[in-house]
Amino acid sequence: MRQPSAGEALAAALSAEYAAIYAYGRIGVRLSEAARDAARQAEAAHRRRRDALVVQLTTAGGVVPPDRAGYALPFPVTDRASALRLAAEVEERTAAHWRAALASTTGADRDQALAALVEYAVRATRWRKTAGQTPLTVPFPGRPT
Amino acid sequence: MLLVLGGAVTPLTGCDLFDRDDQPAPPPDPLRPMVDESLALAAAYRASATAHPELADRLNPIAETHTAHATELARVIGVTVPSAASAAPTAAPAADPSGARAALRALEKTAQQSATAACAAAPAERAALLGSIVAARATHQEALK
C-alpha cells in the first residue's frame, strides 16, 4: 500500500475531527454535570484541532476536505451509557487517524500528530473510567483492530 | 593482573593481524533498549500485583500490554524476545497500594518520554508502532490515578 502524503494524512485527520465534533453534539445532550463538562472540553479540543488543520492545509495549498451535514454513528445514542461508550469510541477512532499521520510526517508535524494521538487515547481511557468499563486501556492505542 | 591484561590484549592483536577485512559489527538497533524497558515495566507491574492482590485486576492487563509491546518491538527489529528473567531487576514494590501505584506512574512517565524521543527519531515504518507505545504509556498513568 502506498504511503499517503502528509497532506493526505492530515486531510483524513481533519475529516475525523469533523465527525468527532458532530458526535459530541449528540453525546453532550445525554450527559449531565461533570460528564457533560468533560464532553464540552473534549469537543473544544476537537474544534481547536479542526481549525488548526484547516489553516495548515490551506497554507500548504493542500486539499481541505469539506465538512458534512451529518455523520453515521456506529450505534444509536439513547442514554448516558451509550453516550459514554460512543465518546470513548470517538476518541479511539480520531486517535487512529492521527496515528496514521505519524508515518507520513516528520519533525514538528509528527510531534503534533503524536500529541493528538496521546491526548485522545488518554481521553478514551477517562471516558471508560467514567462509564465503569474495563479494561481502561487498549494495548496499542489507535491501531486498527 | 598481568594475566587479565594479556587476555584482553591478545584477541585485539589477533583481529589486527588476521581479520583486517572484517566489517565492524553493525550498531545495535536503537529500539533494542525499548524491548528491555517494556519487559522491565511488565515485571514491575507483576511484582506490584503480587504484593497488592487488590490491585491485580487493574495491574495485570497493563503488564500484558507491556509484554505485547516487547514482543512487537522484538519482531520489528528482528530479535527474539529475551526471557522475562533477563529484565532488569526492579525495586521492591512500596508497602502501601497507593505508593505502589505512584511508583508505577513515575516509571510510566519516564518510559513515555523515552518512547516519545524514539518516535520522533524513527523512520516512517516504525513511527505508528512507537506512537501507540507512547500513547499506551500515557493511558497507563491515567488508569493508575
pLDDT score, position B10 = 46
User: What is the Cα–Cα distance from A15 to A22, expressed in whole angstroms?
Assistant: 11
Please tell me the distance in Å from B126's CA to the nearest CA on chain A: 7
> Cβ of B135 and A135 within 8 Å?
no
Which three cell numbers, joined as nine digits, stand for B35? Answer: 524491548
Task: Report angle CA A52, A53, A54 to the nearest 5 degrees.
Answer: 95
B101 contacts A98 by C-beta, under 8 angstroms: no
User: What is the Cα–Cα distance from B124 to A104, expressed in whole angstroms?
Assistant: 7
CA dihedral B20, B25, B26, B30 (to 10 degrees): -150
Sorted by where each starts, the structural domains of chain A and their CATH numbers stand as 6-131 (1.20.1260.10)
Instruction: Answer yes or no: is B92 within a domain.
Output: yes
User: What is the Cα–Cα distance from A42 to A21, expressed in whole angstroms?
Assistant: 9
Which three cell numbers, joined as nine digits, stand for A106? Answer: 516528520
B47 CB near a chain A CB, below 8 Å? Answer: no
- Mean pLDDT of the B49-57 span: 95
Alpha helices in chain B (DSSP H): 2-18, 32-51, 56-77, 97-121, 124-144
Task: Report angle CA B68, B73, B79 to the nearest 5 degrees.
Answer: 115
> Cβ of B139 and A100 within 8 Å?
no
pLDDT score, position B82 = 80
- Classify B117 as helix, strand or coil: helix
CATH of the domain at B46: 1.20.1260
> Which of A3, A135, A141 is facing B135, going by the closest CB pair?
A141
| Regions of chain A where pLDDT drops below 70 | 1
**Residues A54-95: tens digit of each pLDDT:** 999 999 988 899 999 999 999 999 999 999 999 999 999 999
Residue B8 scores a pLDDT above 50:
no
Q: How many Å separate Cα B73 from the centre of its chain?
A: 10
Instruction: Answer yes or no: is B95 within a domain.
Output: yes
Place of cell 510531534: A111
Instruction: Answer yes or no: is B78 within a domain.
Output: yes
A91 contacts A123 by C-beta, under 8 angstroms: yes
Instruction: Answer yes or no: is B94 within a domain.
Output: yes
**In chain B, what residues touch A129 (CB-CB under 8 Å)?**
142-143
For residue B8, what are the contacts with CB-CB under 8 A and spacing of at least 6? Answer: none
B89 contacts B44 by C-beta, under 8 angstroms: no
pLDDT score, position B6 = 42
Count the domains in chain B. 1
A61 CB near a chain B CB, below 8 Å? Answer: no
Instruction: Answer yes or no: is B14 within a domain.
Output: no
| Gyration radius from chain B CA atoms | 20
Domain with B114 in it: 29-144
ipTM: 0.95
pLDDT score, position B9 = 45
Residue B67 scores a pLDDT above 80:
yes
Instruction: Answer yes or no: is B1 within a domain.
Output: no
